[in-house]
Amino acid sequence: MRVCDILKERDFVLSFEFFPPKKKGDDRAFWDTIEELKRWKPDFVSVTYGAGGSTHDKSIDLALALHNRGFCVVAHLTSISLSRKQVKETLDVLKKGGIENILALRGDMPQDESFVIPEDAFRYAYQLVEFIKAHYDFCVGVAGYPEGHIEAPSREKDIEYLKLKVDKGAEFVITQLFFDNRFFFEFLELAERAGIKVPIIPGIMPITSYNQIVRFTKLCGATIPEKLLSLIESLKDKPDELKKAGIEYTINQCRQLIDAGVRYLHFYTLNKSPATNIILEALGLER
């Protein structure tokens, strides 16, 4: 099913993000996580695509495997590492396999200094969106950044880039993680002023470890609110207490979003089920 139709038709939309297992031995744990989270009947699941295309084959295989297990799948596709021929070949495989949804991304630049961008690569996400919509019938989503992309000169300029992606055919937006809902609501206001009318889905990352939250916020530029930062720093040597407090924080964050009328939640599961299960149980989102 197409995500754009799901977002129109359903009162509340729940989705999960997964990434290809990094080690062969992780496959069993991954599918165990899928089984544990299946109880929530997610409206769709997404499958990430590694920096520089590092998980190209694994990402495609996983997207197709989840589709074959009955999930509505959004396959991530990053363009910076692929020639236009490779983009087309990838889209052809996904289309043939029954995938109907793509999250079109430029992709993060790999840290490997030897990495070379193909001469004819799509260097911006809007170019990838435009190509997909011109040649295929996929429902296309894009990323949004409540605090602005780390490379953008300002939040306002970043909204201009988002508007361009929507004008080229993007039909929904999934946001980067954030820990202060104020940024998300301001993002919605900026998007509305810019004339962006497609659904904007908040991306939620459960807080389960000190190193995890510090690492991810450095990578994406998300702000850790002072109160939360003080809390996790005080508990960084008490992992069980930190996980409990972090999950409670995420529960409250989700409650505030739902109480404000937000109809969608997209969880960055990190291929683990316990934290997401606890949060959804607390929110009473059993279906």
> Taking the domains of the chain in order of start, what are their residue ranges?
3-283
User: What local confidence, expressed as pLDDT, does residue 16 receive?
Assistant: 98
Q: What is the pLDDT along the chain (287 residues), one digit of tens a residue?
A: 999 999 999 999 999 999 999 877 789 999 999 999 999 999 999 999 865 444 568 899 999 999 999 999 999 999 888 899 999 999 999 999 999 999 999 887 666 666 778 888 898 999 999 999 999 999 999 999 999 999 899 999 999 999 999 999 999 999 999 999 999 999 999 999 999 999 999 999 999 999 999 888 988 889 999 999 999 999 999 999 999 999 999 999 999 999 999 999 999 999 999 999 999 999 999 88
Contacts of 174 (CB under 8 A, 6+ apart): 46, 103, 141, 142, 143, 144, 201, 203, 266
The domain 3-283 having CATH identifier 2.40.50.140: the answer here is no
Q: What is the pLDDT of residue 108?
A: 74
SS3 196: coil
Q: List active site positions.
A: 17
Contact by Cβ (8 Å): 37, 279: no
Buried b (16+ CB within 10 A) or exposed e, 94-126: beebebbbbbbbbbbeeeeeeeeebeebbebbb
pLDDT at residue 49, as a whole number: 81
The whole-model pTM stands at: 0.95
Start-to-end CA span in the chain (Å): 19
> What's residue 120's pLDDT?
85
